[in-house]
Amino acid sequence: MYQVYIRSFADGNGGGVGDIAGMKSRLGYLRDLGVDAVWINPWYESPMLDGGYDVSNFREIDPLFGSTAEATEFIEAAHEHGIRVIADLVPNHTSAQHVWFQEALAAKPGDPARDRYVFHPGKGADGAEPPSDWESVFGGPAWTRLSDGDWYLHIFDGSQPDLNWEHPEVRADFEEILRFWLDRGIDGFRIDVAHGLVKDLTFPDTGGRTELLGTKHPVDHPFWDRDGVHEIIRTWRAILDQYDDRMMVAEAWVHRERLPLYLRPDEYHQSFNFDLVEAKWNAESFAEIISTSYKASSAIDAASTWVLSNHDVVRHSTRYGLPAETDVRRWLLEGPHEDLEAELGNVRARAAGLISLSLPGSSYLYQGDELGLPEVWDLPTDVLQDPVWERSEHKAKGRDGCRVPLPWEPTGPSLGYGPGEPWLPQPAQFAQLAASVQAADPTSMLLLYRQAIALRREHLIHTEQLEMIDLGPNVLAYQRGSITVIVNMSDKPVPVPRGNLLISSDPGQTGSQLAPDTAAWIGTQ
Ligand code: GLC
């Protein structure tokens, strides 16, 4: 599954922002890469205050990207290329520009027009304090007060009011939205903030507790991972099941023990597994994540998923070039930037690609992974657009560095991305990473990905079997059907197992030794 961050993929109609025409013109590239499906980040009408995750109309494509007719044509064209299309649905909140929120604003406190969102009087003598201590994911309080005194909830930016999922109209409208896109041929949905939606409407304080991952035991939280979400998902699944062969994947940042609940046979088909995004480069943690996730998925007969990067996290080629103890998000702004070993990160990213593509289930690529793009951590602060930058009061740089427009050609004002000036500047080093340059270089990351995807199709997709094997300290190794996968995460060369070398992340691989930070697939039958 290839994730297209539409704003930064290809700009077909000028204007500096990627669009449907651009995606359509690059379908041949995606087919040659060998992907089965694309997941497109939100393309709906939006003021774009959170990159389109602030939707003002779920039934219209934003004019920046094209039109609803063009979207339908794109879906057909992708199908002709053998590529399925997954849309991104954002049910936790709308844009403040959505007609429902505009109606709510025009109404008075207590008016039913406000019930589709989460409005509440404040605390304290004159209601001047927010109803609870809930914090926004982007920083600052999750409540904003209107001039009439009423407060509304936004778990993300103030321009993204949370919907009230107890309201029957909210439920009915999303059921229609699903049908609207299914009827236009969409193959499925990536559901944004799938662990949100349902809130504890008694608004207990959290005491600052927002984290669900990494806790020892699941926690009871007033706005994350509440049991009520499952009833909603079941109604959606029933709708999908009325169509032929459609799917839903959840973005659910929940405790490992709770994740299988989302994957029950009448709920999601898949849920992102973000453990590899958080993993440090060492064999023990990779092995632990791979075997635990695989066992958990097999136990409930669900497909595992593997994610190295996406539009919300620092690109892995940069993560792997930083010392293990680095807090990567803080490093973007605070450094020390001389800590970055970019070449090391790139070598490891090649190996990581071979890990992700060798595993059972679905491998999710983020656009530019296949080009080895690094995080553009040094974007000047005056071009930043992620709301995180302002809401954190300039303490966190946000996610723009992984969203820089793709380089397609080594020259031209936007490196082949489009005719206009791109919405974020591309760094000079993107020129040699351009897709056309890499397509002509047999040692490039792009050709490594193409070759690995082709080999995956030939040897690996027919079996879900995975067995961890021990090939020495700090060496990650497992058997997948007839293939042994070995990744040398130690600092010394290790022997390559006997067999037929199918692919190595080291383009100069010769002989019987595997260099540090290198992965290989060996045919053993
Ligand atoms: C998800 C998206 C992220 C967005 C947020 C709010 O986490 O991946 O990009 O900002 O939801 O919709």
Whole-angstrom distance, CA of residue 245 vs CA of residue 243 = 6
Decide: 493 and 509 in contact? Cβ < 8 Å. no
Q: Please state which of the four CATH numbers 3.20.20.80, 3.40.50.2000, 3.30.479.30, 3.40.50.150 is assigned to the domain occupying 2-94+167-445.
A: 3.20.20.80
Give residue limits of the domains in the chain: 2-94+167-445, 99-153, 466-523
Percent of the chain that is helix, strand, coil (3-state, to 5): 30, 15, 55
Q: So what's the pLDDT on residue 218?
A: 80
Does the beta carbon of 90 sit less than 6 angstroms from any atom of ligand 1?
yes
Whole-angstrom distance, CA of residue 265 vs CA of residue 14 = 44
Where helices occur in 242-327 by DSSP H, the ranges are 259-262, 275-278, 283-299, 316-319
Does the beta carbon of 53 sit less than 6 angstroms from any atom of ligand 1?
yes
Nearest-CA residue for ligand 1 atom 5 is 53
Cα of 106 vs its chain's centroid, Å: 35
Does the beta carbon of 50 sit less than 6 angstroms from any atom of ligand 1?
yes
In 84-137, the DSSP E strands lie at 84-89, 119-120
Nearest-CA residue for ligand 1 atom 7 is 193
Cα 331 to ligand 1 centroid, rounded to whole Å: 21
Q: So what's the pLDDT on residue 217?
A: 77
Does the beta carbon of 39 sit less than 6 angstroms from any atom of ligand 1?
no
Cα of 328 vs its chain's centroid, Å: 17
Cα of 303 vs its chain's centroid, Å: 17
Cα of 372 vs its chain's centroid, Å: 17
Does the beta carbon of 386 sit less than 6 angstroms from any atom of ligand 1?
no
Edge-to-edge order in the sheet of strand 119-120: 119-120, 151-153, 143-145
Whole-angstrom distance, CA of residue 51 vs CA of residue 64 = 12
Ligand 1 atom nearest 90 alpha carbon: 12
Region of 188 (left: φ > 0; alpha: ψ -120 to 50; beta: rest) is left
Cα 52 to ligand 1 centroid, rounded to whole Å: 9
Whole-angstrom distance, CA of residue 177 vs CA of residue 172 = 9
The fold adopted by the segment(s) 99-153 is Oligo-1,6-glucosidase; domain 2 (3.90.400)
Cα of 360 vs its chain's centroid, Å: 19
Q: What is the pLDDT along the chain (525 residues), one digit of tens a residue?
A: 999 999 999 999 999 999 999 999 999 999 999 999 999 999 999 999 999 999 999 999 999 999 999 999 999 999 999 999 999 999 999 999 999 999 999 999 999 999 999 999 999 989 999 999 999 999 899 999 999 999 999 999 999 999 999 999 999 999 999 999 999 999 999 999 999 999 999 999 998 776 666 667 788 899 999 999 999 999 999 999 999 999 999 999 888 788 889 999 999 999 999 999 999 999 999 999 999 999 988 988 889 999 999 999 999 999 999 999 999 999 999 999 999 999 999 999 999 999 999 999 999 999 999 999 999 999 999 999 999 999 999 999 999 999 999 999 999 989 999 998 999 999 999 999 999 999 999 999 999 999 999 999 999 999 999 999 999 999 999 999 999 999 999 999 999 999 999 999 999 998 899 999 999 999 986
Whole-angstrom distance, CA of residue 23 vs CA of residue 3 = 12
Where helices occur in 187-282 by DSSP H, the ranges are 229-241, 259-262, 275-278
Q: Distance of CA 373 to CAs 78, 106, 226, 227, 346, Å?
A: 25, 46, 37, 39, 9
Does the beta carbon of 347 sit less than 6 angstroms from any atom of ligand 1?
no
How long, in residues, is the chain? 525
Q: Exposed, middle or buried by CB within 10 Å (0-12, 13-18, 19+), for 407?
A: buried
Ligand 1 atom nearest 157 alpha carbon: 6
CATH number of 466-523: 2.60.40.1180
Does the beta carbon of 157 sit less than 6 angstroms from any atom of ligand 1?
no
Does the beta carbon of 54 sit less than 6 angstroms from any atom of ligand 1?
no
Decide: 496 and 483 in contact? Cβ < 8 Å. no
Cα 53 to ligand 1 centroid, rounded to whole Å: 6
Ligand 1 atom nearest 310 alpha carbon: 8
Decide: 259 and 194 in contact? Cβ < 8 Å. no
Ligand 1 atom nearest 387 alpha carbon: 10
Nearest-CA residue for ligand 1 atom 12 is 53
Mutate-to-test residue for ligand 1 from 39, 98, 156, highest number of ligand atoms within 8 A of CB: 156
Nearest-CA residue for ligand 1 atom 2 is 192
Cα 359 to ligand 1 centroid, rounded to whole Å: 26
Whole-angstrom distance, CA of residue 82 vs CA of residue 101 = 40
Coil/strand/helix, residue 239: helix
> What tokens does 39 get?
């997941």
What type of residue sits at position 163? Answer: L
Read off the pTM. Answer: 0.97
Exposure string for 319-339, b = 16+ CB within 10 A, e = fewer? bbbbeeebebeebbbeeeeee
Ligand 1 atom nearest 54 alpha carbon: 12
Q: Exposed, middle or buried by CB within 10 Å (0-12, 13-18, 19+), for 443?
A: exposed
Decide: 175 and 236 in contact? Cβ < 8 Å. yes
In 23-106, the DSSP E strands lie at 37-40, 44-45, 57-61, 84-89
Q: DSSP letters of 483-514?
A: EEEEEE-SSS-EEPPSSEEEEESSTT--TTEE
Cα 295 to ligand 1 centroid, rounded to whole Å: 28
Whole-angstrom distance, CA of residue 293 vs CA of residue 458 = 24
What type of residue sits at position 199? Answer: K
Decide: 419 and 409 in contact? Cβ < 8 Å. no
Cα of 395 vs its chain's centroid, Å: 23
Instruction: Work out the number of other CB atoms within 10 angstroms of the CB of residue 140.
Output: 15
Mutate-to-test residue for ligand 1 from 8, 53, 190, 391, highest number of ligand atoms within 8 A of CB: 53
Does the beta carbon of 156 sit less than 6 angstroms from any atom of ligand 1?
yes
Q: So what's the pLDDT on residue 207?
A: 86
Cα of 137 vs its chain's centroid, Å: 16
Ligand 1 atom nearest 53 alpha carbon: 12
Whole-angstrom distance, CA of residue 152 vs CA of residue 146 = 8
Phi and psi dihedrals of 332, rounded to 5?
-50, -45
